[in-house]
Amino acid sequence: MILLMTVLGILVFVFGLLLSIAWHELGHLSTAKIFGIRVPQYMVGFGPTVWSRRKGETEYGIKAIPAGGYIRMIGMFPPGEDGRITARSTSPWRSMIEDARSAAYEELEPGDETRLFYTRKPWKRVIVMFAGPFMNLVLALVVFFGVWMTFGVNMQTTNVKSVTACVIQQSEKRDICKAGDPVAPAKAAGLRPGDRIVAFNGEKVDDWSVLQQKIRDTIGPATVTVQRGGAELTLHPKLIENQVARTDGHGGYVEGKFVEAGFLGFTPRTEKVQLGFGQSVDHMGEMVEQGVQGLIKLPSKIPALWDAAFGDGPREPDSPMGIVGAARISGEIATLDIPATDRLVFFLQLIGFFNLSLFLFNMLPLLPLDGGHIAGALWESVRRNLARLFKRPDPGPFDVAKLMPVAYVVAGIFVCFTLLVLVADVVNPVKIS
């Protein structure tokens, strides 16, 4: 039964993956057709074609490896400086440029001269290339907002889960009191598990991150108003300075980092809370910010990832994870002994995270990513507008094909990184805690 549920979970993820890829490419396809660009192919996946059907001028199909997708647009690159589409060169770098230019015209038909991608105005090309990642962003927003506003999200609240017995510096990594440890201010003041803190120093609070910051900013006498058994009580703890974990600004903690701050001494209860639309917007903003920071930190995680794949190092919970790793997580989720609604929420959020990652990754201004083509179109617009402003000759379209050697290098780095993640996902996968 466990094997069956695991396979079912993996199939659910693969379906969500294919849907996300198809949705991404649909953004490119629809906007390209709106702007009159001819699109001979719309494919989900890579490798051998499993199924395809031609409708109008476009062949729609599914390929064997669900690791991406593409649409083929005619005239992605302008002709060379000599006006020719193909040429030959003894330089390997130059050959890359000429091969890329030739491939962009290999299905050219009579009448296509006015339907080439590069002949469209830069703003239209930006829309076509941005439409794919934008579709992933839209899908991520729909999934996350639907989950948060319908099922809720696990959040730390101002409800008290437990009260610390004594004052311990958090860098000591112990939770058993020793002789001589002072009594924690919360315990001394009479705070109890089950209490709900509604005000701190006379100011109402209903958000854990706000309450946490108020506590840390206070050393000395304070007033804490709690709800207990239907009645409101005011407690008078005397907060002390203690070494506590550094926060990330969103109520979470930074592992291994500590600061000196005010200390009360209790653990907040984590509960599932339904978010309103405004709260969902704020929560989404935090997720995007964390995603961007994750991309920036990605190179620094490679040594630990290598050690986890080929050495005896542990696989960190926030380690980069690929499609195989995500599929394994999906399989594990299906076997968990939790309510079906919780499994559904896990599946949906996994697809949401995947789509948000696709959006952020594709917006990097590097070829062959969509962001690289967007950057090229924007640079062309800047060049042409500057030439017009200073009454200089039109420099013409920016030849993105000249950047193909760089694109091959970038693609090679991506392939190597993908293979490293794949090995780590197989031999030392991230596991659900």
**236, 201 Cβ separation under 8 angstroms:** no
Confidence of residue 96 (pLDDT cuts 50, 70, 90): very low
What confidence score (pLDDT) does residue 101 get?
A: 53
Q: What is the pLDDT of residues 227-264, one digit of tens each?
A: 998 889 999 999 988 888 887 766 567 777 788 888 99
Query: d(Cα 308, Cα 303) in Å, to the nearest integer?
Result: 9
Backbone angles phi, psi at 85, to 5 degrees: -80, -40
242 CB-contact burial (10 Å; exposed 0-12 / middle 13-18 / buried 19+) = buried
Q: What is the pLDDT of residues 112-154, one digit of tens each?
A: 778 888 889 999 999 999 999 999 999 999 999 999 999 998 8
In this prediction, residues 265-278 reach a mean pLDDT of 89
Confidence of residue 357 (pLDDT cuts 50, 70, 90): very high
Q: Can you give the pTM of this predicted structure? A: 0.81
**Average confidence score pLDDT of the chain:** 85
In this prediction, residues 309-315 reach a mean pLDDT of 87
pLDDT of 174 over the 80 cut: no
What confidence score (pLDDT) does residue 26 get?
A: 95
pLDDT of 92 over the 50 cut: no
Q: What is the pLDDT of residues 32-84, one digit of tens each?
A: 999 999 898 899 988 899 999 999 889 999 998 887 888 888 888 777 654 45
What confidence score (pLDDT) does residue 399 get?
A: 77
**Which residue matches tokens 């693609």?**
411
Query: d(Cα 273, Cα 278) in Å, to the nearest integer?
Result: 14
Q: What is the pLDDT of residues 375-390, one digit of tens each?
A: 989 998 999 899 888 9
**332, 6 Cβ separation under 8 angstroms:** yes
Confidence of residue 25 (pLDDT cuts 50, 70, 90): very high
Residue 48: CB atoms within 10 A of its CB come to: 8
Confidence of residue 102 (pLDDT cuts 50, 70, 90): low
Query: d(Cα 16, Cα 242) in Å, to the nearest integer?
Result: 47
Positions annotated as catalytic residues are 25
Longest dimension (CA), the chain: 90
What confidence score (pLDDT) does residue 198 get?
A: 92
Confidence of residue 431 (pLDDT cuts 50, 70, 90): confident
**Alpha-carbon distance values, 321 to 191, 248, 389, 419 (Å):** 42, 22, 48, 11
Minimum mean pLDDT among 23-32, 101-110, 208-217, 225-234: which range?
101-110
**383, 396 Cβ separation under 8 angstroms:** no
Query: d(Cα 141, Cα 284) in Å, to the nearest integer?
Result: 8
Minimum mean pLDDT among 122-126, 195-199, 333-337, 402-406: which range?
402-406
**135, 26 Cβ separation under 8 angstroms:** yes
What is the enclosing helix (H) or strand (E) of 432?
A: none
In this prediction, residues 363-374 reach a mean pLDDT of 89
pLDDT of 90 over the 60 cut: no
